[in-house]
A and B are shown apart, each in its own frame.
Chain A
Amino acid sequence: MSTVNTLLTYEGIPIWRHVRVIQWMLQIVSAIVIVALLAWFFTNIGNAVQDRDIPFGFTFLDREYQTPIGEHFIPYDSSDTFRYAMFVAVTNTLLVAVLGVIAATALGVVIGVARLSSNWILSKVALVYIEFFRNVPLLVQLLFWLFIVLALPPVRRGFEIADSIYINNAGISFPGPNSGGSFSMTLIWVAMIALGIALGVVAHKLLSKRELVSGRASYPVAAGFAVAAGVAALSWLALAAVGDAPMIVTSPEPAGRFGRIAGGVTIRAGLLILLIGLVIYTAAFIAEIVRAGIQSVGRGQVEAARAMGLSPMQALRHVTFPQALRVIIPPLISQCLNLTKNSSLGGAVGYTDLTNVGITMTQTAPAVSIFLLIMLAYLAMSLAWSVTGNLYNRYISFERR
């Protein structure tokens, strides 16, 4: 009797009532269930792959894709491999994500501030904007813009403004830098611009510190911009002296009999619609985030700033906004993430984003492998946004405590 008791007890408690034993049993059972489920799924997939002769694996990545990609911003040719085509698709999605986030944040901040304006009409206009665009599915909005753009006249009979801006159902063309030279030169120049911006930020930091310490006006913002622009211009001149100029500002002109438009910058219809739709939709959410952030700053802060002689704009810029930013950043990151994921609707408006290219690829390559890669790509992008956002968040909360 006593031996049984000692066998079935643990720290003096019957083992079926001991918390740690129960927890361990639960863990083991759940682990077994999950492993069994996964094993079952994978056996089934394996069987299906064998029975129905569905190809699986990643050897297709080295094959030629042999399908055109409607829009691409790095050189692409149908004879390129699947691997490279996938990369092109990722850059397409990244382009929309980055442009969209910048524009949506700008518009969202404006509307969020307008929502809190003391001006009754402006505030109500912002309210209507937010409540409408936030509550209508993005797909409906995208299709609305799509059919508006499709209803525009074709290229040959399109609108022309001052002989330099062309608007038609293929997109919009306006004067701007055209990557006339070689692609590698452009890449080098873009890298130099990034360097210039980094130097500009450093200059801004140093000068604003000097301004704080000495009290003399040091124009940190202007200096920062000047440094960035200077580096960009100098590197352009240097590259132009070495070989092809990387980018030349040209004006779009009709070329050829079919009214093709050459030169300048052309934003094609697919990208244009996707950006308009995503920006208008996401800006409504960001506006609400900005409003909540600004409202989270105590009234006393603004009143104190006004009492010290700051103008309403200055109070917003130097007192309210820096404090609101700490509340704004985390939900803003999740909106950036949402925008990136929502760009997967590009296929509905004729933009070749990652999901759209992936779906097309499944016609000539194993779907399971492709979607595994696509999921990994999206997860990586999500992670990138989170890391960037969290770093920025840490930076601002450290700066202003």
Chain B
Amino acid sequence: MLLKKQISDSLNRCKSYRKRILEISQQVFALHLGGSYSCLEILDYIYEFHIPLRKKNKNDNIFIMSKGHSCIAQYVILENRGVIKKKELDHYCKAGGKLGCHPDYGNPGIEASTGSLGHGLALAVGICKANKIKKNNSKVFVILSDGELQEGSTWEALMMAANLELDNLICFLDHNGSQSYGVTRDEHPKFYPISNKIKSFNWETVTVDGHKIGEIDKKFYQRKTKKPFFLICNTIKGKGISYMENKPEWHYKSPTPEQYTQGLLDIENGI
């Protein structure tokens, strides 16, 4: 179980990540703010408690951002950890910079190129299988978007992960309930329930509040089986910014200078 201090430290880190992302939003338009804010706590949890600060050996756990469009959230964490330099992030999406709007394999801390949805899970299945073949105990952590579950390829990978008995695969679903076109429940009512579908593909499945790392951690260690593990994390798109929360248009939109100021206040005061 996490200590109170660990939880409050995480909340503080996430505050500073939200501010840094907002700051970047004033320099470039190419941002997916809503979906980045929804997965920040999950991401912070994975990095802080499961990914070593410096890659030491081939047995280290790794992380794959399958919802590549939210990689700005990954970048600010990698910056805080010293994996990405401030100067590099300052050049995000700018000519001469190496960090783009989607993760690029070969960049520091980036284990796979994603951005086209429905690719990350199969890549993770392959990596987990390679770890099994090489008798290496490391785990692979993945964050999927809920929209990504509409890709058939995601279900192929879900099926194969179970077939290959990959207990070293842990998948977090950033279930923020909205996507580019609108609110998922309105656009695709038969998409729900999610949990039963994943369970029926032979994954151990739990549901958790994706903004509470204490709860995430508890569920993580209450795992009961050796099946691949799926955590449906209920989250809020645009979490932390009053005018963004649960507004699908903030999937891909940049705040005005006034909205930026308001956003900083929201983050500081905790809405």
Q: Do A and B come from one complex?
A: no
